[in-house]
Structure 1
């Protein structure tokens, strides 16, 4: 049997597994309560009770409610990124960007994601922290996709980054407008056309730049 080598991780102890399970239970409980009642209306005691742990267990894992909310938003963004990546990888190479954008819009229309990530997070965590989490997950995928399709110049790369941020914001805004729209299906189709058109300009720019250097 081959030696697993120093890079292999030792299995977690029961104590570590229990700690991970407790932390996750707190995140899940907080997500359910925040979505149902609102961030400001939910206290630490209610979260601990819903997760079936003590206040001491809560403070063992999180300094306060805001730190827990940060972990919740990060988990929601990681799950969103997994869905977007899966949708993009299932599409043909030419359609991957479009498939990813479409899936991101679907994610943004999920009530809990829209309420907690799009609406509540900027007020609780601040814009800078929200951008950091976004770019580590969903926006990071979009930035990578558009940057790879932009022309090789530094200006084109910078424009791709800006476009990725703007496209992500457009998708989030469209998701909010869809809530309560008279014809959500038609509005969603229109929103996707507009967003994909903007993303397509970068691909077109790359093709033109490549042709100019031939």
Structure 2
């Protein structure tokens, strides 16, 4: 049986930055970027573009919040070894070709799939908000080829448990705790805490 390569959503860098390159956490002109991603999205084998700066791999990312506290976890042994030992605020990952459904938003479909793969939530999502986009062009192999779509999901319970290998739960923490421990956070997580 032939294995088919994992195909992920990406967009040509020149299309994504048609209005000019930016970096950091972008909270303005969000409808424009969502429209560009929808219109120009392509699915390519991950192995073909993993380190190709001509494409931006779009990553669906979500923060979980309960009563002004944020879910934090630690990556111990992930496929993305360059981030091991750091604390991500985000859950999520690549948007895959099978997330594409004509009756649903592909980004939300990917977010919900990633949440289901990574955690068990013994509660309900009470609110969903698109916060912005994150991109850092520091020329490291991870950041220069990825752009994150950052969502915030409010939930009505702190009962969230990791179920994916390589992740370890820390639990729900305050914004002050995040700021005091910023050096332990992943680069994208460091950027977002000033906007929470």
Q: Say yes or no: TM over 0.5.
A: no
- Per the normalisation by structure 2, the TM-score is 0.29
RCO higher in structure (CA 8 A, sep ≥6): 2
Tell me which structure has the larger Cα radius of gyration.
1
Higher share of residues assigned strand: 2
Higher share of residues assigned helix: 1
